[in-house]
């Protein structure tokens, strides 16, 4: 009779006493006590933030968006308005090419050229560099009005803009946690747009084109970051909303 060699049986470790699980269990308990998200949730949040940041252009997209403005102001300060128009045209075309090379939407790339042309036309008609910023000064005013109207009708603007991207339900206004996120981020957006408008008006009246350019660059970056943060917070709130247990329907009393 052939004898088979005895095989050693590896004892099964209980889940709570498995080697290495004590530290991870303590870490998980500490996170729950402190109200911090777990590792999986942090990874999901980071991934959502990265996707949203890339959606608004990322560092390269933001640089391409503000490069024509910087080139215009720098050339105007160095050599006058005529040279500024040339620098603006060259930089705007290069920025459009960069956006197309990055496979961004052709519409957004061409829109950058159109905005640069409109701003240059207004500056040429006015004969002064600060008039270059008049068309873009309309944007924060439009956002202020849109935020106010959205609050009046009970549909915060960030919810209308970011809910689909964040994966929230269509009836997001009926979910308390998700609606709270959109109300708070809309209030922040309203304050940012109002401050942006006031600063631009003050700098325009003071004839400070360089400061207007800095304000435009900073505002573009801040609004992109605000949108990215809104999507991340809304995604977390939407996940908590969808994971919440649905209360059972009441049982009708028998007669």
pLDDT in tens, 111-166: 889 999 999 999 999 999 999 999 999 999 999 999 999 999 999 999 999 999 88
pLDDT in tens, 180-193: 999 999 999 999 99
Looking at the predicted structure, is the pLDDT value of residue 216 above 80?
A: yes
Compute the distance between CA of residue 200 and CA of residue 193 in angstroms, rounded to an integer: 11
Looking at the predicted structure, is the pLDDT value of residue 241 above 70?
A: no
Looking at the predicted structure, is the pLDDT value of residue 104 above 50?
A: yes
The packing angle between helices 134-152 and 176-205, to 10°, is 150
pLDDT value of position 83: 95
By C-alpha distance, which of 55, 67, 74, 60 is closest to 116?
A: 67
Torsion angle, alpha carbons of 135, 140, 141, 144, to 10: 160
Looking at the predicted structure, is the pLDDT value of residue 208 above 80?
A: yes
pLDDT value of position 166: 86
Buried b (16+ CB within 10 A) or exposed e, 25-64: eeeeeeeeeeeeeeeeeeebbeebbeebbeebbeeebbeb
Q: Tokens for 243, please give them.
A: 């994971």
By C-alpha distance, which of 194, 185, 102, 105 is closest to 145?
A: 194
CB 190 within 8 A of CB 158: no
**Mean pLDDT score, 188-201:** 97
* 86 against 241, higher pLDDT: 86
Looking at the predicted structure, is the pLDDT value of residue 78 above 80?
A: yes
Torsion angle, alpha carbons of 223, 227, 233, 236, to 10: -160
Looking at the predicted structure, is the pLDDT value of residue 205 above 90?
A: yes
Kindly report the number of other CB atoms within 10 A of residue 123's CB atom. 24
Domain coordinates of the chain in residue numbers?
51-242
CB 163 within 8 A of CB 172: yes
- 1-15, 63-77, 140-154, 219-233: lowest mean pLDDT where? 1-15
pLDDT in tens, 36-68: 454 455 555 566 556 655 655 667 777 888 899
pLDDT value of position 130: 94
Report field, pTM of the whole predicted structure over 0.85: no
Looking at the predicted structure, is the pLDDT value of residue 34 above 50?
A: no
Mean pLDDT value across the chain:
80
Helix, strand, coil percent content, the chain, rounded in steps of 5 = 80, 0, 20
Cα first-last separation, the chain: 76
**Mean pLDDT score, 166-189:** 92
pLDDT value of position 13: 45
List CB contacts of 220: < 8 A, sequence separation 6 or more: 62, 65, 66
pLDDT in tens, 152-163: 999 999 999 999
pLDDT value of position 151: 96
């Amino acid at each position: 009779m052939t004898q088979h060699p005895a095989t050693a049986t590896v004892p099964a470790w209980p889940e709570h006493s498995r080697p290495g699980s004590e530290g991870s269990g303590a870490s998980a308990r500490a996170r729950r006590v402190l109200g911090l998200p777990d590792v999986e949730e942090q990874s999901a949040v980071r991934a959502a933030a990265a996707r949203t940041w890339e959606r608004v252009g990322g560092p390269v997209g933001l640089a391409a968006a503000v490069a024509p403005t910087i080139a215009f102001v720098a050339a105007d300060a160095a050599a006058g308005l005529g040279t500024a128009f040339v620098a603006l045209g060259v930089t705007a075309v290069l920025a459009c090419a960069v956006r197309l090379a990055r496979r961004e939407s052709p519409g957004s790339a061409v829109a950058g050229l159109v905005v640069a042309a409109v701003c240059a036309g207004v500056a040429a008609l006015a004969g002064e560099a600060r008039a270059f910023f008049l068309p873009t000064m309309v944007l924060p005013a439009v956002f202020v009005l849109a935020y106010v109207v959205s609050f009046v009708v009970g549909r915060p603007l960030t919810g209308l803009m970011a809910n689909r991207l964040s994966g929230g339900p269509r009836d997001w206004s009926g979910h308390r946690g998700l609606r709270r996120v959109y109300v708070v981020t809309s209030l922040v957006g309203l304050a940012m747009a109002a401050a942006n408008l006031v600063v631009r008006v003050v700098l325009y009246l003071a004839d400070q084109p360089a400061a207007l350019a800095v304000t435009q660059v900073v505002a573009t970056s801040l609004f992109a970051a605000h949108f990215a943060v809104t999507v991340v917070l809304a995604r977390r709130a939407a996940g908590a909303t969808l994971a919440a247990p649905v209360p059972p329907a009441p049982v009708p009393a028998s007669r």
